[in-house]
Chain A
Amino acid sequence: MAKMKFLCDEERCIECNACVTACKNEHEVPWGVNRRRVVTLDDGMPGEKSISVACMHCTDAPCQAVCPVDCFYTTEDGVVLHDKDICIGCGYCFYACPFGAPQYPQEGAFGARGKMDKCTFCAGGPEEDHSHEEIEKYGRNRLAEGKLPLCAEMCSTKSLLAGDGDVVSELFRNRVVRRQGRQEAWGWDTAYNVK
């Protein structure tokens, strides 16, 4: 069975934020919420590097482990999804997530959290595929159409890769061999317990 993974090649990311915009537009995510973001380290200095990050769909997902209402589930493709009808907006998944993926639309005063929103690997949610409810709550379900996440599809330098973990890592390995670098799949040890 495929295990979906994200990989961001930090040698290629040019911090154009196209992935961020593509995601925001495709899923019409709530105001104040961004499912993906690009982080630049040593910005403006020699050796500056950027990485695009969203939910990594962890193998042993911390968010899933701490959710008090147990609203997460992992699909057959290894995508970590959650049920917004069950989520109570407690914020625990945000405390636990290593990648800062869970976001909350503000609901009411004093920063009270609404239902959690995060990257779905363009795989929708528990509602019926392509139903109105699914699009409303989770955005589009590209996986059900046989397409991969839009952020990676849009990436002009093919820095951001998304798909079956084996395929992605093979692609990346070849790339690294050709440029004679060291293979360092960003965040994979944290998310998937592999290097």
Chain B
Amino acid sequence: MSNTNSLNRRKKMMTWTGIVMLLAIFLLPMTGYISTGFATAAEEQVEATNPKSDYWRQVRDNTAGYSAVKGRETNELIQGSGQNWRQLRNGPIAQYGSWLLGLMLAVLAVFYLWRGEIKLSQPRTGKTVERWTLKERRMHWLTAGLFVILGVTGLSLLYGRLVLIPLFGHHGFSSYAEIAKWTHNILGPVFMVGLLSMIFNWFKLNFFNKVDLQWLKDFGGMIGDKHPPAEKLNAGEKMWFWSLVMMGLALCFTGLVLDFPNFDQQREVMQISHLIHVITAIGLIAFSFGHIYIATIGTEGALEGMVTGHVDTAWAQQHHDLWLKELNKKASSDK
């Protein structure tokens, strides 16, 4: 009896085991369906937005698609940033830029009328010291000349339509602008070489120190009769140098991006580059007005240094006394 009982129990167990195994064989592979089922449900929720409006969003967001026509961004339908670029360039940049340049000229003119040329306070001694070597002067005038050419041609592209077309007519201005464009594009990289060599050669002279602070407090002797002490370069010249380093390098770099469109840089990159290029250029041109004013009609004897290379010791004593002292010390120790 017990034997048949145990046999029955074994049979029952085997049947159940068989059923469970069969179920497992059928059901386990189905878990794949179950999990993907959940996944698609979740996905459907994400994609619940209207496919049609998704499509139009893609069109507007310049999503890259496919186009059989190959070229720069030919696979995009609408780029929105061009309108922003247009508005910034034609609006605030052109407007405030012209104000800044005009204001700078006006301030200088008023200052000149009020202060006049800053004369030498002592008569010339007739003795001169060397201020800029021939190499330095060449570098300066090369860069300065290119700066003027690039400035004029560049501003012509920004303001020519407003100012020059009424004067020369469309065809006349166009012939000039064509030459201006080529000149600008070819001389730009040469200017960069000049700028870099100036930066490397004059880097050491341009660190700020306590002397400069005092010089700035006294407005560099531009206002009042004080002659604040200065080294070979005063704080004003150093400020000009550092603006050339920062804005000038940004100007050159963005210029290269615009000058060589053959690397398939995107339109947005060129728009941003162009904006930086114009802003830094106008800033530097405004600053250069000040530099040119001070170095020419603003200060007696200043231009001689960059033209002949030598300055009168009376001038050196008045404007760069610490530098003269150092020169004298060196001269006497050399003896």
Residues of A within 8 A of B (CB): 10, 15, 17, 20, 32, 34, 37-43, 47, 49, 51, 53, 62, 65-71, 83, 85-91, 94-100, 103, 106, 110-113, 182, 184, 186-187, 190
Known: A66-B90, A99-B78, A100-B79. A182 touches B52 (CB 8 A): yes
Known: A66-B89, A100-B73. A89 touches B181 (CB 8 A): yes
Identify which of B55-63, B114-122, B135-143 touches chain A.
Answer: B55-63
Contact B261 A71 (CB under 8 A): no
Residues of B within 8 A of A97 (CB): 82
Taking CB as reference atom, which chain A residue is nearest B72?
A100
Closest Cβ–Cβ distance, residue A113 to chain B (whole Å): 7
Question: Scoring B residues 80 to 113 as 1 if CB is less than 8 Å from chain A, else 0, what string do you get?
Answer: 1011011001100000000000000000000000
Contact B59 A41 (CB under 8 A): yes
Taking CB as reference atom, which chain A residue is nearest B54?
A47
Known: A51-B77, A66-B86. A95 touches B267 (CB 8 A): yes
Identify which of B14-22, B167-175, B303-311, B321-329 touches chain A.
Answer: B167-175
Residues of B within 8 A of A67 (CB): 161
Residues of B within 8 A of A96 (CB): 82-83, 85-86
Most interface-central of B66, B67, B261, B274 (chain A CB within 10 A)? B67
Interface pairs (21), CB distance under 8 Å = A15-B68, A32-B71, A39-B65, A39-B66, A40-B66, A40-B67, A47-B51, A65-B86, A68-B157, A69-B170, A70-B165, A70-B170, A71-B170, A86-B174, A90-B157, A95-B82, A98-B78, A98-B83, A100-B72, A100-B73, A187-B77
Taking CB as reference atom, which chain A residue is nearest B261?
A111
Interface residues on B, range: 35 or more
B260 in the interface (beta carbon within 8 A): yes
Alpha-carbon gap, A47 to B51, bound state (A):
8
Interface majority SS on A: helix, strand, loop or mixed? loop
Contact partner, B55, options A37, A49, A66, A94, Cβ 8 Å: A49
Residues of B within 8 A of A (CB): 51-52, 55-56, 58-60, 63, 65-69, 71-80, 82-83, 85-86, 89-90, 156-158, 160-161, 165, 170-171, 173-174, 177-178, 181, 185, 258-263, 267, 270-271, 274
Residues of A within 8 A of B66 (CB): 39-40, 43
Residues of A within 8 A of B85 (CB): 66, 95-96
Residues of B within 8 A of A89 (CB): 181
Residues of B within 8 A of A111 (CB): 260-263
Residues of A within 8 A of B261 (CB): 91, 111, 113
Known: A41-B63, A91-B261. A68 touches B52 (CB 8 A): no
Contact partner, A37, options B67, B80, B86, B258, Cβ 8 Å: B67
Closest 3 pairs (CB-CB, A-B)? A111-B262, A37-B69, A43-B66
Taking CB as reference atom, which chain B residue is nearest A17?
B68
Closest Cβ–Cβ distance, residue A184 to chain B (whole Å): 6
Alpha-carbon gap, A71 to B267, bound state (A):
21
Contact B51 A88 (CB under 8 A): no
Contact partner, B68, options A20, A53, A112, A113, Cβ 8 Å: A20
Alpha-carbon gap, A32 to B83, bound state (A):
26
Contact B174 A69 (CB under 8 A): yes
Closest Cβ–Cβ distance, residue B231 to chain A (whole Å): 43
Alpha-carbon gap, A103 to B171, bound state (A):
22
Residues of B within 8 A of A95 (CB): 82, 85, 267, 270-271, 274
Contact B260 A110 (CB under 8 A): yes
Residues of A within 8 A of B79 (CB): 98, 100
Contact A99 B77 (CB under 8 A): yes
Residues of A within 8 A of B76 (CB): 39, 100
Contact B69 A34 (CB under 8 A): yes
Contact partner, B177, options A32, A43, A88, Cβ 8 Å: A88
Alpha-carbon gap, A20 to B170, bound state (A):
33
Alpha-carbon gap, A71 to B171, bound state (A):
9
Alpha-carbon gap, A69 to B56, bound state (A):
35
Contact B83 A41 (CB under 8 A): no
Contact B171 A85 (CB under 8 A): yes
Known: A41-B59, A99-B78, A100-B76. A68 touches B160 (CB 8 A): yes
Known: A37-B74, A40-B65. A88 touches B82 (CB 8 A): no
Residues of A within 8 A of B258 (CB): 91
Contact partner, B170, options A39, A41, A42, A86, Cβ 8 Å: A86
Contact B90 A69 (CB under 8 A): no
Alpha-carbon gap, A75 to B93, bound state (A):
30
Closest Cβ–Cβ distance, residue B267 to chain A (whole Å): 5
Closest Cβ–Cβ distance, residue B84 to chain A (whole Å): 10
